Structure 1
Amino acid sequence: MTDSTSPARPVATAIRYLSIIVCCACLLLTALCVAIACQVFIQTGVFAQSYAMVGLISGVLGLLALKLGSVWK
């Protein structure tokens, strides 16, 4: 029942692509934080909890953004 020329269609497409970009950025930040945390642990033997927490939070946000992009209509 929706018309393909309705203004909601480009907005939905824009939100879908934006969520994919946000997902990629968050997952890249996750990889970077985990790499830094591992490097700190290897060099000092001390677990870098702050980097691990930022990596975990950004990973969850990235997965949520990916889920949003896949279910948005």
Structure 2
Amino acid sequence: MTDPASPARPVAAAIRYLLIAAGCGCLLLAAICVVIASQVFIQTGVFAQSYAMVGLISAMLGCLALMLARVWR
């Protein structure tokens, strides 16, 4: 007798790898936004709030995606 959940295993693995890729991409975007915001602040003395907010949101989404990938079965 076969397990009815066995065809879902490749789909679950694909979702997990996509979550890992999305999480890493979000964290990379967050790092780029923080670097740009810091460089703007250093050069002009004005805080680039939009880049900082995008970086913060992207970092939270990246961490959430990586945490979900870790617990996905």
Q: TM-score range by the shorter chain?
A: over 0.9
Paired position in structure 1 for 2:60: 60
Q: Runs of 5+ in structure 2 lacking a partner?
A: none
TM-score, normalised by the number of residues in structure 1: 0.92
Number of aligned residue pairs: give it.
71
Distance 1:48 1:21 in 2: 27
- Alignment RMSD, CA only? 1.4
Q: What's the CA shift string for 1:17-50, capped at 9, x where partnerless?
A: 0000001100000000000000000000000000
Paired position in structure 2 for 1:44: 44
Q: What's the CA shift string for 1:41-71, capped at 9, x where partnerless?
A: 0000000000000000000000000011000
Q: Runs of 5+ in structure 1 lacking a partner?
A: none
Identity of aligned residues (%): 75
Distance 2:31 2:69 in 1: 21
Distance 1:17 1:68 in 2: 11
TM-score, normalised by the number of residues in structure 2: 0.92
Q: List structure 1 segments (4+ residues) > 6 angstroms apart after TM superposition.
A: none
Distance 1:8 1:21 in 2: 20
Q: Does 1:27 align with 2:27?
A: yes
Amino acid at match of 1:19: L
